[in-house]
Structure 1
Amino acid sequence: MLDVRRLRLLRELARRGTIAAVAEALAYSPSAVSQQLAVLEREAGLPLLERTGRRVRLTPAAQNLVGHAEAVLERLERAGADLAEARGGLAGVLRVGAFPTATRALVPAALVHLARRHPALEPMVHETDPAAVAHALRAGDLDVALVHTYDFVPTPPEPGLATRPLYGEAMYLAAPAEPPSGAWPEPGPAAPVADQGAVLRAHRDAPWITATPGTLCHTMTLRACRAAGFTPRVRHRIDEFATVLALVAAGQGVAVVPQLGVTGPPGAGVALTRLDMERRTEIAFRSGAGTHPAVAAFAASLRAAVPPDLAVPRAGA
C-alpha cells in the first residue's frame, strides 16, 4: 500500500527538483526525505528517481505516480471538507495568507464579518507574497490565501491548487507633480485611461521605484516598461506602497501602483495617471478544499468586504 505522506514528498520533489528544497519546504532533514522516497520506491516495486548531479529526475513511472498523487490528495481534501460539514459549527484555526495591501485594506473587514458569523473560528493571518503562496498551501502552512496576477505577469495553473476570482484593481503611474498641481484622479474603474505606452515612455529617463526582485510587483513594472520600449533605471526597491508614494512625492522617482496602494490623497507632490492594465486578486486553496466550511466561510467574508469601487476582474484576463 502506498503511503500518502510519501506521495506528497514525491509530488513536492517533482515541483522543486532537489531533495534539499523539499526538505526545507516541509521541515524535514534531507536524509529523512531521501529515506522516505527510498521506502516509496520499494513500495512501488520499481525505480522512481534518477540522479543527475545535485538534482534528482523523476522516472516516467514516478511522473505518472505524481499525477495519481495529485488526484489522491485532492480527494483527501474533499473528504476533510465533507467531515467538517458533517460535524457542523466552525471552530479551530484557519491559517490565512495575504499580501500587504490586501491585509490592510480588505482583511480586517473580512475578519469582522467572519467573527460575527463564526465566533469559534480562529483565523491566523500571515503576510505572504503571492509568489510564496503555492508552496505554503501545498506544505499545509496555509489553508487559504489571497494571490494576485497582473496583465504582464500571467501565472500558470499550480498543480494541487485552485483559485476563485475576487476583484480587480486599476493601476496607476505615480509621478512627482509639477507645482502647484497636487491633485490626482479619484482612484477606481471610472478614472479615464491614458495611452499606457506613451505615459511610461514619457518617464523612461526618470529613476524608477519598484518592489523587491522576486515579487510579482517587481516583474510587472519591468515587463510593462519593456513592452513600452525601454528598461527602467531602478533607484529604489520598496514593497510598501505608502512608502513608494512618499518617495515619489519627495522627487525620488516614478512607480506603478495599484488602486489599493492608494490609501488616500497624498497631498502635493504626487500625480496619478491611470494605465490600461489591471491587478486581479484571487482566493487560493488546495484543490478539493473549496467546499471546506471554514474556507468557504472566509471566502464569503472576503467577498462581503470588497469595496464597491473595485472593478470586477476582466473576463479571460
Structure 2
Amino acid sequence: MLNLTRLRLLNELTTLGTITAVARARGTTRPAVSQQLALLEKEVGSTLFERTSSGIRMTTEGERLSSRIGALFDMVEDIEAELASSSDVVVGQVRLSAFGSFSTGIVPTAFSILRQLHPRLTLMFTEYASQDGIRAVVAREIDIAIIDEWADIQRPARSLEISTLGTDDFVAVVSREHPLANRKTIHLADLADDMWAINQGAAPYRSILLNACFTAGFTPKEVCNCRNVSAIIEFIKKIGLVSVLPSLSLQPFLDDDQIRLIALSPSLSREIRVVTLPGALKRRSLNAIVQTLGDVTKGRR
C-alpha cells in the first residue's frame, strides 16, 4: 500500500521544486522529508527524482506518478472545501499575509471586526511583500495573500485564483506649512522643486513613481530613503520634505494636523488583489475574511 503522507510530499516536491521548500512548507526538516521520499521510492520500486544543482528533476516514473497524485489531492481539497462550506458557522484557523501598507492600514481594523463577528475564527497574520505572499500560498504556508498589481503572477508553480479586492490611490503628502498645503488637488510637477522622501527599497513603487514624475517633466530630488512610513512622515513634518504615498499606508495618520494629504491629477493608483489556491474561497472562513477586508478597503466599515 502506498503511504498517502509520502505521496503528498512528492506532490509538494513537484510543485515547489526543492526539498528545502517542501520542508519549510510542511514545518519539518529537510532530512525528514528526504527520508520519507526515499521510503516512497522503495515502496514504488523506482527512482522518482534526481538531484541537480538547481533543485530536483523528476524522472519519467516520477512525472507519471506525480500527475496521478496531483489529481487525487485536488479532489481531496475540493471535498474539504465543500464540507467546510456546508456549515453556517464561520470557524477554524486561517493564515493571511499582506504587503506593508495594507498591513498597516487595513488588516488590524479588519481583524478587529472579524473577532467581533466570528469569535470562533482564529486568525494568523504575517507581513510579506507581494511576491513572497504568492510563494507562501503556493507552498501552502498561508491561505490568503493580499498583493498589489505589480507582483509577478505569470508563472506560479501551482494554479492560483486571483481576484480584485479594491484600489489604493496615491496621494501627495506635505507639511502643513507647505505653500500647497491648502490645495485639494495638485499635479506632480507642482512638487518638482521640493526635496523628496522616497522608499528606494520598494522597487515597484519607486519605479512607478519615478516614471510618473518623468512623464510630468522632472526628476524628483531624493534626499531621504526610509522603508518606514512613520519615519517618512516625521521627515515631512520636521524638515519639510514631500512624498507621494499609498493611501492605505496613511490610515494611522489621518488625524495628524501637521501634515496634509492632497489628491493627484492625473491620479496614480494600484489594484489590490487576493491570491488563494483554487476553490479555497468556498470555505466560509476564508470568504468571510476576504469580504471584510474588501469592505474595510472600500471604506464601508
1:292 maps onto 2:290 in alignment: no
* Contact 1:97–1:128 (8 Å) recurs in 2: yes
Return the offset for 1:166: 0.9
* Contact 1:207–1:252 (8 Å) recurs in 2: no
| SS of residue paired to 2:47 | coil
* Contact 2:104–2:249 (8 Å) recurs in 1: no
Return the offset for 1:292: 0.9
Return the offset for 1:48: 2.9
Return the offset for 1:63: 4.9
* Residue pairs, 1:84-99, within 5 angstroms: 84-99=84-99
**1:247 alignment counterpart:** 235
In the alignment, the residues of structure 1 paired with residue 53 and residue 221 of structure 2 have an alpha-carbon distance, to the nearest angstrom, of: 38
Paired amino acid for 1:119: P
RMSD value, Cα = 4.0
Return the offset for 1:293: 1.5
**2:199 alignment counterpart:** 210
After the TM superposition, which of the residue ranges 163-172 and 175-184 deviates more from structure 2? 175-184
Structure holding more helix per residue: 2
In the alignment, the residues of structure 2 paired with residue 62 and residue 233 of structure 1 have an alpha-carbon distance, to the nearest angstrom, of: 53
**1:164 alignment counterpart:** 163
Return the offset for 1:260: 1.2
* Contact 2:176–2:259 (8 Å) recurs in 1: yes
Structure 1 segments unaligned to the other structure (5+ residues): 186-190, 310-317
In the alignment, the residues of structure 2 paired with residue 221 and residue 44 of structure 1 have an alpha-carbon distance, to the nearest angstrom, of: 52
* Contact 1:249–1:270 (8 Å) recurs in 2: no
**2:205 alignment counterpart:** 220
* Contact 2:149–2:272 (8 Å) recurs in 1: yes
**1:75 alignment counterpart:** 75
In the alignment, the residues of structure 2 paired with residue 2 and residue 160 of structure 1 have an alpha-carbon distance, to the nearest angstrom, of: 26
Return the offset for 1:149: 2.3
The structure-2 alpha-carbon separation of the partners of 1:18 and 1:241, relative to structure 1 and needing over 3 Å to count, comes to same
| SS of residue paired to 2:35 | helix
**1:304 alignment counterpart:** 295
**1:155 alignment counterpart:** 153
In the alignment, the residues of structure 1 paired with residue 130 and residue 32 of structure 2 have an alpha-carbon distance, to the nearest angstrom, of: 29
In the alignment, the residues of structure 1 paired with residue 190 and residue 41 of structure 2 have an alpha-carbon distance, to the nearest angstrom, of: 57
| SS of residue paired to 2:225 | strand
Return the offset for 1:267: 4.9
* Contact 2:21–2:139 (8 Å) recurs in 1: no
* Contact 1:11–1:70 (8 Å) recurs in 2: yes
Return the offset for 1:208: 5.0
**2:28 alignment counterpart:** 28
Return the offset for 1:164: 2.2
The structure-2 alpha-carbon separation of the partners of 1:61 and 1:175, relative to structure 1 and needing over 3 Å to count, comes to farther
**1:55 alignment counterpart:** 55
**Structure 1 length normalisation: TM-score?**
0.71
Identity across aligned pairs (percent)?
A: 26
Return the offset for 1:257: 1.7
1:47-80 CA-partner distances (Å, limit 9, x unpaired)? 3322223632334554565555554433322211
The structure-2 alpha-carbon separation of the partners of 1:272 and 1:304, relative to structure 1 and needing over 3 Å to count, comes to closer
| SS of residue paired to 1:182 | coil
Return the offset for 1:251: 4.4
Return the offset for 1:220: 3.0
